[in-house]
Amino acid sequence: MNRIALVADDLYDMRTVLALTLQRTGWQIVEAEDGLQALQLTAELQPHMILLDYNMPNMDGIEACYQLKNHPQLRHIPVIIYTGAYASDVRKLAQQAGADHFLTKPILPADLRQIVEKLYQERFAQS
């Protein structure tokens, strides 16, 4: 089974780093440039994991997470929000929006892979 992760970030370089990190462990990656595009792609593709940058144009990661977690067909998908901003403020917003995990930049590849794998196993391994 192909495991699909959606990576949403307005910075190409960050999307690329996250994509390469997950591709090394067999994930297929879909990229979005903002929260709106992330919502559209999630509705179409039903990925197994969503990584959202906090600070994006058009719709930030917090609002995108909130909408995903309040959508009956999408709320089961694990969402990781990450940021380079002051972490405690954003962490609180991410928790309120329903994020499954929160990371601050710089993101260590080994940590990302471990968290993604743990969330995937919790959500999909029993299915």
Q: How confident is the model at residue 119 (pLDDT cuts 50, 70, 90)?
A: very high
Q: Which residue has tokens 């993101």?
A: 107
HEC secondary structure over 5-73: EEEECCCHHHHHHHHHHHHCCCEEEEEECCHHHHHHHHHHHCCCEEEEECCCCCCCHHHHHHHHHCCCC
pTM: 0.95
Number of domains in the chain: 1
Q: pLDDT tens, 18-45?
A: 999 999 999 999 999 999 999 999 999 9
Residues in the chain: 127
Q: Residue 98 sits in which domain range?
A: 3-124
The domain that holds 77 is classified in CATH as 3.40.50.2300
